[in-house]
Each structure stands twice: as structure tokens, then as C-alpha cells.
Amino acid sequence: MTVQDFMEKVAARNQNEPEFLQAVQEVVESVWDVYISNPQFLEAKILERIVEPERMILFRVPWVNDKGEVQVNRGYRVEFNSALGPYKGGLRFHPSVNLSILKFLGFEQIFKNSLTTLPMGGGKGGSDFDAKGKSDSEIMRFCQSFMLELYRHIGANTDVPAGDIGVGGREIGYLYGMYKKLENENVGVLTGKGLNWGGSLIRPEATGFGVVYFAEEMLKTIGESIEGKRVAISGFGNVAWGAVQKINDLGGKVVTLSGPDGYIYDEDGITDDKIDYMLYMRASNRDVVQDYGDEYNVPFHPDKRPWEVKCDVALPCATQNELDEVDADNLVRNGCICVSEGANMPCTPKAIEILQKNKVLYSPGKASNAGGVAVSGLEMSQNSLRLNWTREQVDERLHDIMKAIHYQCVQYGQGDDKYVDYVRGANIAGFLKVAQAMLDQGLI
Ligand code: NDP
Ligand code: 2IT
């Protein structure tokens, strides 16, 4: 059997799911040699089993808008793999959401969670709900209706959702309120909760902080650091917000942000005094980055991506497939030395090939954006202990976890020329732990 034979079978079973197949292809290519040289894995058909979700739940989400009109959305939860612990992963609310996207995200989450060193399985969920232009009460009613079905499938020891695109602290609050009303219990069934009701310090910043900690580790391998570097960031959501803060802390300068409408270029940098404006833009539900350009009188480039500007480090933090081969060529030509993914699968396979061929330090999201789910894991620990750790305690653990993930990538991904293939490293390290756990637990 070859990778191609294997992928043909997966493709036949998962038609019209390009994002899912893209994610599977990458992992299968990375782990293939390890897989076929281990008779136990082969006999137990670990890879065939790992690409099949343990359970997928699809449901109707009816709600009423401010005009009194009935609306219908679709809700999903993909419970992909529980070998390492309860299913764990975010909820995405975005009009583009479909089964292919949630299966790709759930699949990636298995290996990401494995890399964190914490006991968490992989899952993902969400809805095609579009928050753009919706009022706060509409968002609340939608979240309540969504939980009215989801609650029976999740639990603090079963499946623990969190945020992703379109789901932040506000949405988690409405979802948690409804869960509590239905189950009459206060438990760590969701993460990303508010600080006064079970949330963890640093969780909002965690993904962005983690991406930058990871980039710092990558840069160290070539004797470099974030200090003094020009950084291009895409998105202006939760992940981008945390990354900007940490880049500033470490003495770098972020010169771009982007949205579905284009990107802004701020030569003076997104300095600390401008960071709160990112929160304002997200909470406005307008979904445009042009507002930043107007507010600070800096250039806005409509319908363009930030990868055409000169930068040393690029952190794609918006969404999947937002950096293609043309963008990768531009980055290489402009002297970019490090691309670390904040979003899930933002670089296309061709872009990755170009970056790696040019020996640019490149890390896949499952390694570099794992800080978010890692601190979610720490939130679960604090909930179980009924204790809150300090900012410093959580940040230190996060930093240590990002270093541990980096170490695993180097261990399995470093080649003879010392260049680290972080894709191979992350996939093999993440896979081995899950595969062994599946073997240990028998045919389930
Ligand atoms: P947010 O909703 O806070 O921000 C997402 C940003 O990306 C927004 O600016 C959003 O604009 C933009 N965006 C979404 N879709 C598109 C699109 N098709 N084209 C251009 N821009 C788009 O989400 P997060 O910051 O939480 O998530 C960003 C990425 O990071 C996602 O890939 C997510 O999976 C990943 N991630 C998130 C983690 C977390 O803890 N939050 C953890 C690890 C990874 P708009 O909504 O208006 O389209
Ligand atoms: O993609 C991700 O890792 C997340 N959206 C965070 C998941 C979580 O459970 O915190």
C-alpha cells in the first residue's frame, strides 16, 4: 500500500470535503514511514481508524431575530478521537462552516492536543451562523438555542468545547449560562469562561502568546530572536490580538493586520496603545479592518493580503488557506525568515513547499497555535481543583508547554542538514502518542 492508495480510499469515503482531505494528506505523508514500519499499527489499522471520527452530531438550531422572524441554522459537533482524554476543541461560528471544515479542524486538533502533553482528545464544532450585523440579543438567543441541543452530548469528562472564529468570551458566556440552566451544575464543560466564573487567566491571550513563544524558539535555532524584527500579522481577532501583545513585549514591531476586506499597514507598529482598538473592531460585529486605517490614518489596501509587505516574520492568524504560493514567493523574495501559523492550516500545501524549499523556518498551526488549547487544558485542571492559578503561574506553564512542543518537533523533524521540518516533526510526535493509546485501549 502507498500513500496514494490510502488517500484514494479516504477520498472516496469523504467526497466534497477538500479541507478535510488536505489535512489528512499532510498527516499521512508525514507519518507513513513510521506507520508502515510498525506491524502493530498496521495490524490494528490505526491510520484507517484515526481518519474516521468516533462520532459526528448534526442538529437544527432554530432562533428568532429582532424582527420576530424565525431563523434556522445548522449546528455540528465532531467528536473525533478520545484516546488521550475527553474530546476537546473549539466551536466556530462563521457562514463558511460545513462538515469538511469542522472535520479538518477536529482532525488537526487530535495531534495538536497530543503535542500539548496534556490529556485531551480531539473534537471541533460550530455553526454556519453569521454574527455580522447581529445584535447582542440575537447572538444570545442563537447561543441559547445551540446549547439546547449540544448540552446532551458534552460534559466536563466527555467533551469540552471552547472558542474559535466567531466564538469568544461573550458567546462562551451565553453558552455556559444555558448549559448550567439545563444541567443544574457548575462544571468545567466549556473553556474560555469569564474570570469570575471559572475561567483561567491568560486564556484569552494564550493562542497568540503561544505562537510568539514558538516563533522565538524557532528563531533561537538559527541564533535569532524576535527583538527588532518586523512582523506581518493577518486577522484582527483573538489570536492576532494576543500575538501583537507578545511581539511588542519581546521588542518586535507588528506592521499589518487584515480582515475579509483587506489589510492595513502601520509603519509605526501596532503599539500597545492601539491594541484595545482591535477588541473594539471585533466587538462591533462589522468585520472590517478598514476602521483601523481610518482611526489611525494609515494605509488600507482593499482586497489584498498582508504577505506582500517586507517583513522578517509572518504570523498568519485569520483562517485556512489564506497564504498561497504567490504569497509564499513574495515572503521569500522580501527576506522573511520565519512563518509561524496562528490560524489552523492558513498556508496552502504549495506555499509550505516553497517555504521549506527556501529553508524558511515554518511551523504548522497544530504545533505553534497549541497554546490556546493548552491553556484550556489548564483551565480544566483549575476547575477540577476548584482553584485559580496566578497570571504568572499560567503563563509560565504555557511557555514551558510551547518549548516542549518545539522540542518534540525538533526530535522528530530535524534533518541531517539541521533544518527542522516542523510539519513532519509535529505530525509524527502527535501521531505516535495517539496511536499507542489506541493500541493500549483495544479495538474501540
Ligand atoms: P476571531 O473570530 O477572533 O478572528 C478571526 C479573524 O479572521 C477575524 O478577523 C475574521 O474576520 C477573520 N476571518 C475569518 N474568516 C475569514 C476569511 N474567510 N477571510 C479573511 N478573514 C477571515 O477568531 P480567532 O482569532 O479565534 O481564530 C483565528 C484563527 O486561529 C482560526 O484559524 C482559528 O481556528 C485559529 N485558532 C484559534 C484559537 C483560539 O483559541 N481562539 C486557538 C488556535 C487556533 P471575520 O470573522 O469578519 O471573517
Ligand atoms: O483551534 C484551537 O485549538 C482552538 N480553537 C482552541 C480549542 C480549545 O479547546 O481551547
Secondary structure (H, E, C), 134-182: CCHHHHHHHHHHHHHHHHHHCECCCEEEECECCECHHHHHHHHHHHHHH
Residue nearest ligand 1's atom 20 by CA: 260
* Cβ of 164 less than 6 Å from ligand 2: yes
Cell of 314: 509572518
Q: Report residue 117: phi and psi, to 5°.
A: 80, 0
Could you give the angle at the alpha carbon of 422 between the alpha carbons of 209 and 439, nearest 5°? 100
Is the CB of residue 58 less than 8 Å from the CB of residue 75? Answer: yes
Minimum-distance ligand to the CA of 322?
1
* Cβ of 287 less than 6 Å from ligand 1: yes
Residue type, 370: A
Cell of 234: 493577518
Please identify, by atom number, the ligand 2 atom nearest to the C-alpha of residue 203.
Answer: 10
Pairing of strands 253-259, 262-265: antiparallel
- Amino acid 52: pLDDT: 98
List, as one string, the DSSP characters of 39-63: HHHHHTTHHHHHTS-SEEEEEEEEE
Kindly report the pTM of this predicted structure: 0.96
The interaxial angle of helices 371-385 and 203-220, nearest 10 deg, is 130
- Amino acid 182: pLDDT: 98
Please identify, by atom number, the ligand 2 atom nearest to the C-alpha of residue 120.
Answer: 9
- Amino acid 179: pLDDT: 98
Q: Report residue 118: phi and psi, to 5°.
A: -100, 155
CATH of domain 53-197: 3.40.50.10860
440 Cα to the center of ligand 1, angstroms: 36
- Report the run of H or E that residue 88 belongs to, with start and end: strand 87-93
The residues of the chain scoring below 70 in pLDDT are: none
Residues spanned by CATH 3.40.50.10860 within the chain?
A: 53-197
243 Cα to the center of ligand 1, angstroms: 13
Residues spanned by CATH 3.40.50.720 within the chain?
A: 206-368
Q: Is 124 assigned a catalytic role?
A: yes
* Cβ of 90 less than 6 Å from ligand 2: yes
**Distance in angstroms (rounded) separating the CA atoms of residues 289 and 261:** 7
Cell of 183: 444541567
- Amino acid 284: pLDDT: 84
- What does each C-alpha distance from 197 to 16, 177, 188, 202, 328 come to in angstroms? 41, 10, 10, 15, 43
**Distance in angstroms (rounded) separating the CA atoms of residues 133 and 111:** 35
Domain boundaries 206-368, CATH class: alpha beta
Is the CB of residue 215 less than 8 Å from the CB of residue 313? Answer: yes
* Cβ of 239 less than 6 Å from ligand 1: yes
How far does Cα 207 stand from its chain's mean position? Answer: 8
- Mutating to test ligand 1, I would choose from 93, 139, 164, 275 the residue with most ligand atoms within 8 A of its C-beta, which is 164
- Amino acid 157: pLDDT: 98
> DSSP strand E in 270-416: where?
300-302, 313-315, 338-340, 361-363
**Active-site pick, 103, 112, 124, 274:** 124
420 Cα to the center of ligand 2, angstroms: 25
Please identify, by atom number, the ligand 2 atom nearest to the C-alpha of residue 112.
Answer: 3
Cell of 381: 485542571
Minimum-distance ligand to the CA of 236?
1
Minimum-distance ligand to the CA of 167?
1
Indicate the SS3 state at residue 183. helix
Indicate the SS3 state at residue 431. helix
* 48 dihedral zone (left: phi>0; alpha: psi -120 to 50; beta): alpha
How far does Cα 18 stand from its chain's mean position? Answer: 18
- Mutating to test ligand 2, I would choose from 164, 191, 209, 317 the residue with most ligand atoms within 8 A of its C-beta, which is 164
386 Cα to the center of ligand 1, angstroms: 31
How far does Cα 67 stand from its chain's mean position? Answer: 35
> DSSP strand E in 166-304: where?
230-233, 253-259, 262-265, 300-302
Cell of 18: 477538500
* Cβ of 376 less than 6 Å from ligand 1: no
Neighbours of 330 (CB within 10 A): 18
* Cβ of 122 less than 6 Å from ligand 1: no
Is the CB of residue 159 less than 8 Å from the CB of residue 153? Answer: yes
- Amino acid 2: pLDDT: 96
